[in-house]
Homo-oligomer: A and B are copies of this chain.
Amino acid sequence: MLRRLTKDETRSVLAEGKLGRLACVDNGAPYIVPVSYVVHEDSIYIHSLFGRKIRALRENPRACFQVDDVKDDYHWHSAIAFGSYEEVTDPQERSWAVRRLLSRFPHLTPVESVPVHDGQSSVIVFRIRIEEMSGMREG
């Protein structure tokens, strides 16, 4: 049975997922990348080296974020969030976000984490501030 998720259920799907897909608009065309993330309050935190998605999101901050968990064709749920890109520049919030990301994703190499603490990081920490979300499930 297919049904719409409640807001709380949608939030749980987003919060419990580990691999999300982030879409942005790059020169009028869509661009998707898979990302590791953590959800805190009304934001999805992600860190990244500078590249295409950061360049595109700086230009157009509209973002769409999708997470699903598919057990099989009849048992799955999916959530989608819309929001806007904000770079996290406050050193304390950056450091907090990176610690949360690394404790959730210990396979991320130290290379990605260490520079954050020396004030000369090339790692960008950003959040998607959620403005709207919805979800569906089957089974």
Query: Chain A: residues with CB nearer than 8 A to chain B?
Result: 19, 21, 23-25, 28-34, 60, 62-66, 68, 70, 73-74, 78, 80, 82, 105, 107
Contacts and interface: CB of A to CB of B under 8 A. Distances in A.
Given A73-B105, A107-B73, A30 B19 contact: no
A25 B32 contact: no
29 contacts: A19-B68, A21-B23, A21-B32, A21-B66, A23-B23, A23-B31, A23-B64, A24-B30, A25-B25, A25-B28, A28-B60, A28-B62, A29-B62, A29-B64, A29-B82, A30-B31, A30-B63, A30-B64, A31-B64, A32-B32, A32-B64, A32-B65, A32-B66, A32-B80, A34-B66, A34-B68, A34-B78, A73-B105, A74-B107
Name A's interface SS: strand
A5 to B, nearest CB: 14
Contacts of A107: 73-74
A76 B30 CA distance: 23
A14 B38 CA distance: 27
